[in-house]
Amino acid sequence: MTWPPTPEALMAWQDELARAAAPPIGPGVGAIGGCFVCFPRGETGPGERGDRAWAAAAVTRRREDMQTVVVTGEAGAPYVPGLLALREGPLLEAAVRALGARVDVLLVDATGRDHPRRAGLATALGAVLDVPTVGVTHRPLVATGVWPEDRRGAAAPLRIGDETVACWLRVRPGGRPLVVHPGWRTDLDTAIAVVLGATARVRTPEPLRRARTAARRARAVGAGPQDGG
């Protein structure tokens, strides 16, 4: 499976993905991966096609690091809400494929069904890689809902109309909850279990935190002075 080349093709594919009925994985997950991409700092505007990019992927087992890789490339498109796959999809795919270790489920800084066409980048990346995915973001894209109670593991639904598409999840008391998105071949209960199993001392799940740190460190080394490091 390859990435659609145009916005029109992507939107049509997103509609197909939203109707797909791929069987969800079971609760037992061993190796959890995470991927993250960043772009030069200090540039104006939301982002353009051809922006330099640093994409990283990490895989952990029981929150212990197994492997982390970084690849460089260019943004495939300008930033457009709802069409993030055109900008970031191939970069994240390249980073995950560079891992030598097997990934049982992948955490992505993107949405799943919380999307105008119910198929955000977390879902699309899983379909391309044929890997179950869970989206983890700081805020919802379209859905709405109240925060859960202040205890670890508390969840509250996020809905678009009457459909529950994601949830707020409290991973530690006193901290802002995360938004957890079922992606490719994951349901909400599995997504919550994966995120809780990948978090401990900090709010961000460990594989995603490691990938984010690696991408930002690579940017600091590879970006020129005009990018602010």
Q: What are the residues facing 106 on neighbouring strands?
A: 33, 133
Residues across the chain: 229
Per residue in 131-170, pLDDT (tens digit) is 999 999 999 999 999 999 999 999 999 999 999 999 999 9
Assess contact for 36 and 209: CB atoms under 8 A.
no
> pLDDT value at position 44?
65
CB crowding 110-126: b at 16 or more within 10 Å, else e: bbbbbbebbbbbbbbbb
Q: Which domains does the chain carry?
A: 7-17+29-131+191-221 (3.30.2170.10)
User: Burial of 200 by CB count in 10 Å (0-12 exposed, 13-18 middle, 19+ buried)?
Assistant: exposed
% of residues, the chain, pLDDT over 90: 82
Q: How confident is the model at residue 226 (pLDDT cuts 50, 70, 90)?
A: very low
Q: At 127, list the tokens.
A: 């379909």
> pLDDT value at position 75?
97
Residue 227 has pLDDT above 60, yes or no: no
Q: What is the C-alpha separation between 229 and 226, in angstroms, rounded?
A: 8
Residue 29 has pLDDT above 80, yes or no: no
**Residue of higher predicted confidence among 227 and 104:** 104
Q: Region 5-10: what's the mean pLDDT?
A: 97
Report field, pTM of the whole predicted structure over 0.85: yes
Residue 14 has pLDDT above 60, yes or no: yes
Reference 58, options 28, 93, 94, 96; nearest CA is: 96
Q: Considering the chain, what is the average pLDDT of its residues?
A: 92
% of residues, the chain, pLDDT over 70: 94
Reference 123, options 198, 19, 201; nearest CA is: 19
